[in-house]
Structures are given as structure tokens and as C-alpha cells.
Amino acid sequence: MTDKLEKGLEGLESGPERTAGIEPTRGAPAAESHPSVTALLEKFGDAVLHHELQAGDEHVAFIEPGRNVELLRWLKEDGQQRYNLLIDLTAVDYGGGRPLQVVYQLWSIPNKRALRVKAELPLDSLRIDTVVPIWSTANWLEREVYDLFGIEFSGHPDLRRIMMPDNYAEGHPLRKDFPLRGRFSRAEQTRRALSFDLSDYYTQAELAVIGEWEASQAQEHAPGSVEFPEDVKQSRDPRDAGSSAEEPE
């Protein structure tokens, strides 16, 4: 192993390095108000940590990560809010040991109103509750965030990698501490990619399902296993019925 590789593998264990004097990820509080953020503040109070404007007119509400399901469910189901479309669920890593942000980009179709909700996760506990029960589109989006950032979504029905292969051992590529060319050498990466195995791409549960399906197919198409109705039986050539049994020598 080269020194570079060892250093990279070390990074896999220790995580990103913290640097001093970094800028905070939050900006100044918003001057304007947003009806949904006002309602959130009234209803949940201290669960809404911060409200700011980004890129001019994008309202961002920072919430407490532990109460994300409660707040987001209310945002979807409350009669005044009705954020029924989860446009995007992603994460941001600003690097330098700053917390990772999980971003929920919401859109209310009835109210024609957008809201961005962020939850900041400290690097030592990258875990947040899933929102799949609220918006089922979050299923693959959360898998993507888990794959590329390593954030775990508790309660997710099927949390596994979606882009990188299941046996990918180099970490989570979109994290700032991830080296651009990956942690393994090119030769090792090529070797791993080419040693194609179904179990790298499917879970054991899926492979079991495939096995069951194949077994059922084999049984279904076995000679003599198909029971035809009477009229079909009569119209069929008698030589076809049980042909394997009556095969002339």
C-alpha cells in the first residue's frame, strides 16, 4: 500500500479534520417574514432555531433535527400550510468540521408557496428520523443522501446505497473529507469493479426473492405441472400431453 492510500484509509476512520476560525453556516436573521415560518414559530416555538433569507428571497427555516418529523408532518397536514410536494431532499457539507445540513425543499401546490427547511446534524451523530411516511418520494432521496453523505435515516424502510455499489468500501463520496479520486488505488478500484457479483448489487433479501421466483418458474414450467381445462385438453394433440413420459425410445 502506498502512503497516499494509507492516509486516505486513515481518513475513513477518523472523519473530517476540524479547523479553527471557520465561518458559521448560518447567515443573518431574515428581515421579511414568511407566513409558514411565523406559524411554525407560534406552534412549535423553540424547535425553530433560526430563520434566514438565502439568495435574496429563499426563506430557510433551521429546525431542531430531533423534531423534524413532527414539524414536517404539521407543515404537510395543517390546513393553512399544505406543503404536499417534497421537491428535493438533500444534504450539504460545508467542510471544516461544520455540521452537515439535511435540506428539505418544500412546495405547497394549493398555496403556491415554497419553503426550505434545514436540520443541522453535528458530525458525531449523523442520524435523523426518516420522512418517508410523510412523503414517499423521500425513499430514494434519503437513500441517496445516505449513500453520498453517510447520514442515517432511522426508520427508513430500505436504507442502503443507491448509486455506489453495495460493497463500496471507500466511504461517502460527497463528504468534504473524501479525496477526489477515492481512497483506493485505481488498480484496486478497477479490480473491485470488475469482480462483479450479484450480492454486491442486491441485498440478500432481494436475492432470496429472485431465487424463489426462479424456483417457482421452474416448477411452473415443469412437464406435467400445468393443468389444462377439459376442452383445451381435448383440442390439444394427445402426443403433446405428457410427451416426456411417452417418449419413444
Q: Which residues bind another protein (CB under 8 A)?
A: 163-165, 170, 173, 178-182, 185-196
Pair 117, 88: CB distance under 8 Å: no
Give the Cα separation of 234 and 110 in Å (integer).
62
Pair 104, 63: CB distance under 8 Å: no
| Closer by beta carbon to another protein, 92 or else 164 | 164
Residues 6+ apart with CB under 8 A from 16: 95, 96, 97, 123, 175, 176, 177
Give the Cα separation of 120 and 201 in Å (integer).
31
Q: To the nearest whole angstrom, how small is the minimum distance from the Cβ of residue 183 to another protein?
A: 8
Residues 6+ apart with CB under 8 A from 27: 52, 53, 54
Pair 75, 81: CB distance under 8 Å: yes
Give the Cα separation of 166 and 201 in Å (integer).
5
Q: To the nearest whole angstrom, how small is the minimum distance from the Cβ of residue 58 to another protein?
A: 29
Q: To the nearest whole angstrom, how small is the minimum distance from the Cβ of residue 141 to another protein?
A: 19
| Closer by beta carbon to another protein, 1 or else 232 | 1
Q: To the nearest whole angstrom, how small is the minimum distance from the Cβ of residue 163 to another protein?
A: 8
| Closer by beta carbon to another protein, 149 or else 178 | 178
Q: To the nearest whole angstrom, how small is the minimum distance from the Cβ of residue 196 to another protein?
A: 4
| Closer by beta carbon to another protein, 163 or else 222 | 163
Alpha-carbon torsion (24, 124, 59, 88), positive or negative? positive
Beta-sheet pairing, 127-129 with 152-154: parallel
Pair 5, 176: CB distance under 8 Å: no
Q: To the nearest whole angstrom, how small is the minimum distance from the Cβ of residue 82 to another protein?
A: 39
Q: To the nearest whole angstrom, how small is the minimum distance from the Cβ of residue 198 to another protein?
A: 11
| Closer by beta carbon to another protein, 53 or else 182 | 182
| Closer by beta carbon to another protein, 116 or else 161 | 161
| Closer by beta carbon to another protein, 62 or else 184 | 184
Cell of 35: 407566513
